[in-house]
Chains A and B, each alone.
Chain A
């Protein structure tokens, strides 16, 4: 499928926004301005964007504890996200969720999820709503290779097949569950093969290649929208950073870390679209500038935002609290 110029620019814009967001969050965290734990998505941008570019606000996604990229790809406001990560008023979850729990239901973003394997059953539920109401939308679960080992994920895949739901299981295989390698921790030849065992179409794509992810997602999403039921996509990708900010990554070799930098999906995208004459370097440079400004403004806004009032501690436990 040949993508038009505005779509290519939008794809690059979202990937660049994720990268800038993550690079800046890392710097802010290291300066002690962000509380808690932060898990960066940098290096996996082509996966979130390649999938979410097909989705509207009426489609749902469920995410992982490495959720910033999925939020941005799904259209969440980066300033609201930054305020949330800083623990400030005006954050997307009013400072009660933080990095690992950002949600924006108006955007169909059902939440980052700090429990590995937590989201697949929830996404199946969202797909159940869509099918029950006869709506032509889909629900996508982003899960890691670690989450692919959880029983909840297996149960969710089976239930989605049994009920014929418009659910798509995207497995972002970045090679590590925390610090433990996939070759050790996943007892199967491939995660896609594992998903296929539940009775759904499943494919593996190179997550460095935005176009490969985009095309696989297009097929799966179209199938789900037209009543063809669930499917799975294993996206092989590379996590540029450690499991969390501050992780020294001693479990990865120097050679591997060099390869991670060389296989940068943003650089590969830029090289491809410019060499094929589909976009000019100046087009991409303009996106770079726009994204850098947006993230800088988000950080300024987060720093300037007040902390939540203390009585917020007791609000919103129940609807009528």
Chain B
């Protein structure tokens, strides 16, 4: 099977869905790039090149460069979704959601319920999360818990290229608003990705590794990081069951609870802020529905409750490190952990 990057996988998903269904459009800031300028017509393909080449195939009526106007992009995509198109709108960096909360939370997410079940809003909002590029506090956040908090939104966070393609095709074919969160540190990672279209259902976690000693739940870019830890600990005879939920809404609660029932131990690794974050949510889930199976306190490995810093060494210290993840696993097993 051909190996492709996460970036290519997402581009292929958009390409195949646009070819399959003429109602699929792509819109956002510089998704083609070059509109109204004097140079190349397809200069950008989005700020990190994810939509590169689509405008050449589908034209400017279906690959729409917008002004920098996030409220209008999100609102127009929601309105277009309500009236017969299937827009994939790009919110360049997820941090920019601050200026368009209303159109996502109060409008798109609410239509179906508020209008008595008669509305369909087949909208995909693609956005970019995460630290690791020294982009600092306004371009590095992992805001998935905020979207997960809102009923009516589905929230997807692929951790690898294979999942990115299958989950994005699923998202585009879904009749609900879907927030599709790409991690900027994953775009150049590779995996085996089939050329043909395929889908991955929402709400089905992937068991990245299987093991009976400790359950580790990780999200997005923390999955490969936790996988590296699991592989390392395996050499010491510690069997980690690493679970990638892939979607936070819906969440595969069953997979997590079933695994904890077997292992009795849980470590959650997530890049969002600790207060009201994903780790707290998963910990609460297991505390309320799987407490009897726990043999040790739940461990949460997250950033500190601080904005994302700029300086590379500070940013590295901000993110959950493999050392911290490994220490949390060992602590859950009752092993002495060297002081940091």
Contact = CB atoms under 8 A, between A and B. Distances in A.
Given A103-B118, A318-B112, A123 B152 contact: no
B75 A156 contact: yes
B136 interface: no
A35 B74 CA distance: 32
A159 B79 contact: no
A250 B24 CA distance: 52
Interface string A40-83: 00000000000000000000101000000000000000000000
Interface stretch (A93-101, A286-294, A298-306): A93-101
Contacts, number: 149
A24 interface: no
A199 interface: no
Given A125-B77, A318-B152, A110 B114 contact: no
Contacts of B114: 93, 96-97, 101, 103, 111
Interface string B101-138: 01100110001111111111000000000000000000
Contact of A96 (B61, B64, B116, B120): B116
A100 to B, nearest CB: 9
A150 to B, nearest CB: 9
A128 B85 contact: yes
A124 B72 contact: yes
Given A96-B116, A97-B114, A319-B175, A132 B62 contact: yes
A317 B152 contact: yes
B79 A110 contact: yes
Interface string A148-163: 0001100110110011
A93 B71 contact: no
Contact of B116 (A97, A123, A163): A97
- Chain B interface category by residue count: 35 or more
A122 to B, nearest CB: 4
B115 A103 contact: yes
A41 to B, nearest CB: 20
A316 B112 contact: yes
B72 A156 contact: yes
A162 B67 contact: yes
B154 A121 contact: no
Contact of B82 (A105, A131, A152): A105
A152 B80 contact: no
A319 B112 contact: yes
Interface in A102-125: 103, 105-106, 110-111, 113-115, 118, 120-125
A122 B114 CA distance: 16
B103 A159 contact: no
A315 interface: yes
Contact of A121 (B62, B74, B81, B87): B74
Contacts of B61: 131-132
Contacts of A132: 25, 61-62, 80, 85
Contacts of A207: none
Given A159-B69, A317-B113, A125 B80 contact: yes
B79 A123 contact: yes
Contacts of A254: none
Interface in B25-84: 25, 61-62, 64, 66-67, 69, 71-84
Instruction: Please give me the 6 A-B residue pairs with the lowest Cβ-Cβ distance, nearest first.
Output: A121-B75, A125-B79, A94-B116, A316-B117, A122-B79, A155-B72
24 contacts: A97-B116, A105-B118, A110-B82, A115-B106, A118-B103, A120-B75, A121-B71, A121-B78, A122-B76, A122-B78, A124-B72, A124-B76, A125-B75, A125-B87, A126-B80, A127-B79, A128-B76, A128-B80, A128-B85, A155-B69, A156-B75, A159-B66, A162-B66, A320-B175
